[in-house]
Amino acid sequence: MENVLILDGSKVASEIKDQLQKKVEVLTEKGIVPCLATILVGDDPSSATYVKMKGNACKRIGMISKRIDLPKETTTEELLNVIHELNDDENIHGILLQHPVPAQIDERAAFEAISIEKDVDGVTSLGFGQTALGFGEYPSCTPAAIIEIIDYYNLPIEGKHAVVIGRSPILGKPVSMMLLNRNATVTTCHSRTQNLPQIVKQADIIVAAVGKANFVQGDWVKEGAVILDAGYNEGNVGDVDYDACFAKASAITPVPGGVGPVTISMLLKQTVAAAEKISVKTQL
């Protein structure tokens, strides 16, 4: 299509961070510095890079980033003890457990141990349930980023047919619920879905969250669809065949520079919101 709208996530993220920086300054003057604790178990290089990026993003807007590095031999019990300590620390406002953790750890038990007030990454089942019911305060950050981008560009959701490709508990499922709560008609597709191209071709909004490079093909997309690519694969490519889908779309996120930067901004935004709640409590 002509005049395709590039959904510039870097621009959206930059504006969010500017707003957050001002909020952090106000909180700091009150003696509350928003703090995100990030737990990294083991020495996975990709995870270490993600944690470093999140830490740098915190520092740039005046937040504190507390990084906890644990050895790869860490047990579930040892990890739970660390999480409980962070839950009890009044100076910590958000807790992020970097995924994946080593195989011997019960990751779900670790996620569930995070206090709902500090679950700024939206990984607990309670947080997911609240998001699904429409009153979750801290949804998973990538779904939150997708909705943020849609809203920033004033793209309509109500009455549209959204097709979500992927059903992970921190992306496909929550974004399906969030779109449904905004009155979209939602089809969630996955590895067992039959006739996937035909289903995608019905979509007004496509969310690609499957983790496979260039998975969504141009001939799957109907003219004028809005495409949000939440994938990031080797070679800096998303889950969508960008050039082929660009020709059909009315709006599309690039990779990199689309959903990714906004995801980190949502993590910061939700941590600042958690700190603001503490601020309100201390004033009462």
Q: Which residue has 């609240």 as its token pair?
A: 130
Q: Note the pLDDT of residue 5.
A: 98
What are the structural domains of the chain?
31-115 (3.40.50.10860), 141-260 (3.40.50.720)
Cα dihedral 66, 69, 74, 75, rounded to 10, equals 10
Query: What confidence tens digit (pLDDT) does each residue in 101-118 have?
Result: 999 999 999 999 999 999
**Which pLDDT band holds residue 18 (cuts at 50, 70, 90)?**
very high
Average pLDDT, the chain: 96
Would you call the peptide bond into 100 cis, given omega within 30 degrees of 0 as the criterion? yes
Contact, 114 vs 87, CB < 8 A? yes
**Which pLDDT band holds residue 278 (cuts at 50, 70, 90)?**
confident
Query: What confidence tens digit (pLDDT) does each residue in 232-246 have?
Result: 999 999 999 999 999
pTM equals 0.95
CA distances from 243 to 43, 240, 255 (A): 36, 9, 11
Distance CA 162, CA 226 (A): 9
Q: Give percent of the chain with pLDDT exceeding 70.
A: 98
Query: What confidence tens digit (pLDDT) does each residue in 120-146 have?
Result: 999 999 999 999 999 999 999 999 999
Distance CA 175, CA 196 (A): 19
∠ CA 109-112-113, nearest 5°, is 90
**Which pLDDT band holds residue 282 (cuts at 50, 70, 90)?**
low
Catalytic positions: 54, 98, 121
Polymer length in residues for the chain: 284
